Amino acid sequence: MVAMALMVFLLISIWAAFSNKINVKEKFLMILYAYVLIWFAYGNLYYFSCDVDNYNRLLIVSQKHKDESLEKLQEIIIQAQYQTPIKGIENFWTLNENLKPQIQNRLKGLVDCYYFSGVTMLTIGFGDVTPVSSLLRLFSVFQGFLGQVIVVIAMGLWINQSGKQK
């Protein structure tokens, strides 16, 4: 679901860049809007995948909800994974209280995930936070590439508009 949301946000920014039906100011606003939504989507994606290797989550949930069946526990986790990035922020904090993953020296909370996502998207680089798994490294590389593509599209629009005004 997050991957679909990312693709939709990327398509919005590409459509805005090449559409002749909207003016330059609206193009920049749509690209900026898509950029921010991609940032939030990746932040939420990091939040859920920062402890991919930690399988204690299911055990912690099952110990807290001993009376519930395994199907119900799986349903809770699947429901958490398929929330949309913006609407699901409240759910992430609720599930964080229920799941309480045991994470050491990793991203600790949604704010850290947004920080990591923003630093990657803005191509600043990060020395204080590093991806811990191959999956997170792949997400980081893809997000950095996506950040570069959006910046190139926005700069191309600006240069194109500046050339038309002269």
Residue 114 sits in which domain range? 2-165
Q: Which of 77, 71, 85, 79 is nearest to 55 (CA)?
A: 77
SS3 of residue 132 by DSSP: coil
CATH classification at residue 118: 1.10.287
Tell me what pLDDT residue 53 has. Answer: 43
Distance of CA 146 to the CA centre of its chain: 12
Number of domain units in the chain: 1
Average pLDDT over residues 92-116: 60
Examine the pLDDT at 22 and tell me if it is beyond 50: yes
Average pLDDT over residues 151-155: 78
Examine the pLDDT at 83 and tell me if it is beyond 50: no
Instruction: Look up the pTM and report it.
Output: 0.38
Tell me what pLDDT residue 54 has. Answer: 47
Examine the pLDDT at 146 and tell me if it is beyond 70: yes
Model confidence band, residue 72 (pLDDT cutoffs 50, 70, 90) = confident
Average pLDDT over residues 131-151: 75
Q: What percent of the chain has pLDDT over 70?
A: 45
Examine the pLDDT at 115 and tell me if it is beyond 60: yes
Helix axis angle, 70-81 to 89-99, nearest 10°: 140
